[in-house]
Structure 1
Amino acid sequence: MLLLLLLFFFFVQKSPLKGVQENNAHIQLLFLILLSPLNFNRAFLFTSKDQQCLTLAENTKTAVIFRRTNAVLYEKRIYLLECKEGKGVHYRGTEAKTQKGVPCQKWADTVPHKPNYTPEKYPNAGLEENYCRNPDGDERGPWCYTTDPATRFDYCNIPECEECMHCSGENYHGVVATTTSGLECQRWDSQQPHSHGYLPENFPEKDLKMNYCRNPDGEPRPWCFTTSLTKRWEYCDIPRCTTPPPAPAPGRQCLSGRGEDYQGTISVTESGNTCQHWSSQSPHRHARTPENYPCKNLEENYCRNPDGEKMPWCYTTNKTARWEYCTIPSCDGSKPEAPAVDVPEQAQISEDCYQGNGVTYRGTASFTLTGKKCQAWSSMSPHRHNKTADQYPNADLRQNYCRNPDADSRPWCYTTDPSVRWEYCNLKRCDSRVPVTLPKPPQTTLELNPDCINGNGKDYRGTVAKTTRGRTCQEWSSQKPHSHDYFTPMTHPEAGLDKNYCRNPDGDVNGPWCYTTDPRKAWEYCDIPKCPPAQYECGKSKFRPKLCAQRIVAGCISHPHSWPWQISLRTSYGLHFCGGTLIDPQWVLTAAHCLEKSSRPSAYKVYLGLHRERASEASVQKRDVEKLFKEPHRADIALLKLRSPAIINNHVIPVCLPKENAVLGGREECYVTGWGDTKGTGGDGLLKETGFPVIENKICNRPEFLNGRVKKHELCAGNIHGGTDSCQGDSGGPLVCLDQDRFVQHGVTSWGLGCAQPMKPGVYVRVSNYIPWIESIMENN
């Protein structure tokens, strides 16, 4: 070991490499040192900023390792492989049950069996926990003592580490790390040179280790992102195994989970179209062929799910409908969920509920009683668990929705808070007679003390009615003692010219004023103090959002003012045409294409604090635009500086911005809002919302989706099967995602092919790519 360290330091001093190449060479050598048989650490973290390494006794197979920012985790290959070479003497994986499914006894335990092989007697045999091992070199491979008193020991079913693949390589666990053209693979936990959504912590079941070729998304064979700047991803050249594939689980004639094991003979889609044969390329050409997916039972034209879709589907014989889902009867006898019906009058009082103990609950609530966001059932981060869709196929463990798979007293979920493993969900029983009301938001300082002004006080609506010299104000509707034709409630209906209160209808830079009741003094300014700076937390609404994720086309009508950062971008005469987001009291983020009609700031107005498009609420604030800034490299993102800051209150609150270059996981649930075209689905004139997952660009750029149109500074989000989407009039609006207890804007609504069309998700500018530009504009202007 000492000799290896000396060699390492010699290399650091003498290496002729410079810059990045030098760093990579150092990392590779240290990697070899730490992964040598002489070293007992399983992993190390390398931080590029500090150029430091931290050795670790655990790895991600045995513990949840919390990583530092800008740190890359390197792990010993031997502890990551879930396969064996030869007899498996060196197997160090985490399989802990026998070939018959019986849990293993811990090697250090003496009950129910007193072992001959213990960690003390065989310290180098890896006898940890209850993992399968082969301390005696048994010809049949790894084994363990069992927890069954009647069976002392049994062998484990550990596959061979073959550098070949069965089926489409979805279960390939080998160590090939180069593509078909010879490019080196990029590490899955790295975002350089290609940012992506295939984060190992979001796909714990896909074995995304190191930079090994894998197939996490239903491709015909394993692939990887490459280290080449000009090639984002490429397939890997892994031969098919000559040995037969593992025996598949018995097929079902009904729908369980996503229906990946469905082997029935239904061949008609949910809209009545006949399915195209999988082996046919007419009328639709495709890659889901029996040759590319040899283990998926793609017989005839039967509905199947070869690539992990939402449910079984097929290509259709209808030239105008490329593919559609199929209606398959459920194995548990439940009926398919009906589309959600949203009635405007119910928007303020709707409440999800459950029957009995909630075992049959299939709603979309995803927050706990204390407001924590639920962890996805398919994720093992931050909490590892066994409540997965595979283990509980009839529990509908989709996304991070509240469920009750183990027949507890009510629906629950694991939380995204590392310090709280699980909690019950914020749901009521359907038979509860407790009236449902939205929580009343706490009053802000401004609402408790309205007699102060922000800026020039144009929005002042307090009740001061005396001038600075103590004169009483004349009523605005009166013509005595001073006759005036212009500033009246009739000529300025939106200026708040009530009674004789001080106002600023003409935007006087010196603040509110009034006509006086003194015949000798026509008008005078009022002495109203400035309001203190508003205290607020970005991304936190005072009104609970609905978080509609069922079915802005066909979305749900939002709870009024539950998205207080949403703004309406309007023409100078008040016509809504785009959305936008308040990111600071004086700054709005929107799409650059919304500003194509004019480069003059005076051509635009910003409305804040509204729920109804006609802006009839008393909470509405209107602002002129002082400056506008388009992103200099023609990305579809722009900033607007308001002439005066917005008043922050219960109805107007800025959203949070993401960290620079932050990347969303490919399964993140996010929300869009807007007053855009609803295509006849109802809710016109009211703010609507819909929730759907982010789609990794690699998927979104497939030929059947957006066919390579999505650029790396953009992201996709939507339901692949259509039904919900942003639309005309929503452009420039926010795509926000919940991070712990606040909303962060990750996207600006940019473009799409139609609205809510199948296989045509919406495209959004990736806000995290433009944080330096946003900060620079705001600081310098």
Structure 2
Amino acid sequence: MGSYKDIFVLLLFLYTVQGDILDNYVQTNGAWIISLQENTYITLSNEECAEKCEAETVFTCRSFIFASKEQRCITLASNTETTTVFRRADAILFEKRIFLLECRRGNGQDYRGTESKTQTGVSCQRWADESPHVPNFSPNSYPNASLEENYCRNPDNDKKGPWCYTTDPETRYDYCNIPECDEQCMYCSGENYQGKVSQTESGLQCQAWVSQEPHFHEYIPSNFPEKNLRSNYCRNPDGEPRPWCFTTSLTKRWEFCNIPRCTSPPPDPSPGRQCLAGRGEDYRGTVALTASGEKCQPWAAQAPHKHARTPKIYPCKGLEENYCRNPDGVTSPWCFTTNPRKRWEYCNIPSCDDAAVVAAVAPAIPVQTTIIEDCYRGTGSGYRGTTTLTVSGKKCQAWSSMTPHHHAKTPSIFPDADLRKNYCRNPDNDDKGPWCYTTDPSTRWEYCSLRKCVDIVEQPQQQ
């Protein structure tokens, strides 16, 4: 028989092994989620439940719930990236870290995030589909590569990183723009910062994003699935100059975090657009006049208007010269003006969907910028604009995405409806006009914030 010392060593070994299992999970107390695929077991501990999750073969286990009073273990195919979070006091939710990362390590062979667009913005084809491209890599042939939905993956260990087959018949595949995981520093304004700093620059502890105490707020992880609002880590979900968080202090609602900037150069930025798409955050054209014709003030200047939107505070936002830009993610590109009586104003940027206007704005031919009305005719089944907001201000879900709402209105099923990105469309010829699924888990779909073109009445010319 072994000695007490031998038994202690064995127990210590088992405890260490079990503890290592939970190191691969993010724990959230009092949280509960529902999955379309799940299994229930009776277990005595979190560690035993984690072992059940690791051993699942019917589906890919992304998370598990352990209810200690009932000794109930529920393994789940979903996590907080793909479904709604509920509150339940006696439950603990454990999520696999690998499925929460929206960044890649190395060449991203283990990337399991939810990015579903290529580096040029084209929607990915579902791995299980055979149109428009017949894939060499499918869920059946590569069951361990997590080839689900149309998420970017790297099943062949490509040196350049995650990729996908595209929904463009002319382009078989393309790489995805997945940022590298760097938890020690941040690039640009820290929009893609994935680190674990959870204190503000003055030393205050951060409030968990899922919590509404002590400060009530709208930055709930399920409402901003692409912002990686995990635990109480500092993040930048709203275009601030750097990451921040709500604090646990009753007297300080929020504060910036002290995240050092990376000393290495940031990843090569995309060239940007010369026309307006969405909110125009990637607009890099040379329009330098506001909608009313005011000349733009250089971003580096502090006269006639003092401001904080400088190239130093907002790096990587293209704030060179005095060109119209959208550094803080508002409605559309804008600038401070050189008129002391008008601090700032939006600019008129030609839409990328109006080929005639884009062609007309050639560098060699100075022309007056055309104002493009975003409206629809009839039922709007032919609308091809770039509006992405509903009547209540909710952001539209991408048509190719199944999160947070599963649906059948996909680009492959409705190829003639131009279901690009998350633009408002009317694929089913709804009488009331263009609509979209929303990114709000509690609101499946809504009509879009658009008006009929017939509402725009042209004034008659004077005789």
For the superposition of Structure 1 and Structure 2, which TM-score range results when normalised by the shorter chain? 0.5 to 0.7
1:291 deviation in Å?
0.7
1:266 deviation in Å?
3.3
Distance 1:230 1:80, change over 3 A: same
Write the letter of the residue equivalent to 1:161: C
For 2:114, the equivalent position in structure 1 comes to: 94
CA distance in 2, matches of 1:428, 1:54: 51
Between the two proteins, what is the percent identity of the paired residues? 52
For 1:266, the equivalent position in structure 2 comes to: 287
Indicate conservation of the 8 Å contact 1:353/1:428, yes or no: yes
Q: Residues 721-762 of structure 1: CA distance to partner in whole angstroms, max 9, x if unpaired?
A: xxxxxxxxxxxxxxxxxxxxxxxxxxxxxxxxxxxxxxxxxx
**Pick aligned residue for 2:337 from 313, 316, 330:** 316
Write the letter of the residue equivalent to 1:355: G
**Pick aligned residue for 2:271 from 250, 260, 272:** 250
1:664-743 alignment runs, 5 A limit: none
For 2:22, the equivalent position in structure 1 comes to: none
CA distance in 2, matches of 1:250, 1:98: 15
Query: Residue 86 of structure 2: SS of its match in structure 1?
Result: coil
CA distance in 1, matches of 2:71, 2:434: 41
Q: Residues 334-390 of structure 1: CA distance to partner in whole angstroms, max 9, x if unpaired?
A: 73559xxxxxxxxxxxxx9943645459999968xxxxx8964158875267999x9
Q: Higher mean Cα deviation, 311-320 or 135-144? A: 135-144
CA distance in 1, matches of 2:123, 2:381: 31
Q: Does 1:75 align with 2:98?
A: no
1:303 deviation in Å?
2.0
1:287 deviation in Å?
1.6
For 2:235, the equivalent position in structure 1 comes to: 214
* Residues matched between the structures, number: 385
Query: Residue 191 of structure 2: SS of its match in structure 1?
Result: coil
Q: Residues 586-630 of structure 1: CA distance to partner in whole angstroms, max 9, x if unpaired?
A: xxxxxxxxxxxxxxxxxxxxxxxxxxxxxxxxxxxxxxxxxxxxx
Indicate conservation of the 8 Å contact 2:196/2:234, yes or no: yes
CA distance in 1, matches of 2:177, 2:376: 44
CA distance in 2, matches of 1:189, 1:415: 23
CA distance in 2, matches of 1:311, 1:155: 28
Write the letter of the residue equivalent to 1:264: G
**Pick aligned residue for 1:296 from 296, 312, 317:** 317
Query: Residue 345 of structure 2: SS of its match in structure 1?
Result: strand
**Pick aligned residue for 2:435 from 410, 413, 417:** 413
**What is the TM-score normalised by the length of structure 2?**
0.62
For 2:371, the equivalent position in structure 1 comes to: 335
For 1:606, the equivalent position in structure 2 comes to: none
**Pick aligned residue for 2:405 from 360, 363, 383:** 383
CA distance in 2, matches of 1:134, 1:209: 24
For 2:206, the equivalent position in structure 1 comes to: 185
Indicate conservation of the 8 Å contact 1:4/1:33, yes or no: no
CA distance in 2, matches of 1:374, 1:358: 21
Higher Cα Rg, which structure? 1
**Pick aligned residue for 2:250 from 222, 229, 235:** 229
Indicate conservation of the 8 Å contact 1:188/1:208, yes or no: yes
CA distance in 2, matches of 1:209, 1:278: 34
Q: Does 1:200 align with 2:217?
A: no
1:292 deviation in Å?
1.4
1:299 deviation in Å?
1.7
Distance 1:382 1:279, change over 3 A: same
Q: Residues 680-710 of structure 1: CA distance to partner in whole angstroms, max 9, x if unpaired?
A: xxxxxxxxxxxxxxxxxxxxxxxxxxxxxxx
Write the letter of the residue equivalent to 1:192: E
Q: Does 1:355 align with 2:378?
A: yes
Distance 1:35 1:324, change over 3 A: farther
Distance 1:266 1:76, change over 3 A: same
1:300 deviation in Å?
2.1
Structure 2's unaligned 5+ residue stretches are: 1-10, 20-26, 32-43, 55-60, 358-369, 412-417, 455-463
Indicate conservation of the 8 Å contact 2:124/2:164, yes or no: no
1:309 deviation in Å?
1.2
CA RMSD of aligned residues (A): 5.5
Query: Residue 335 of structure 2: SS of its match in structure 1?
Result: strand
**Pick aligned residue for 2:63 from 40, 43, 66:** 43
1:290 deviation in Å?
0.4
CA distance in 1, matches of 2:285, 2:142: 54
Q: Residues 468-505 of structure 1: CA distance to partner in whole angstroms, max 9, x if unpaired?
A: xxxxxxxxxxxxxxxxxxxxxxxxxxxxxxxxxxxxxx
CA distance in 1, matches of 2:331, 2:168: 38
Write the letter of the residue equivalent to 2:325: R
CA distance in 1, matches of 2:255, 2:223: 21
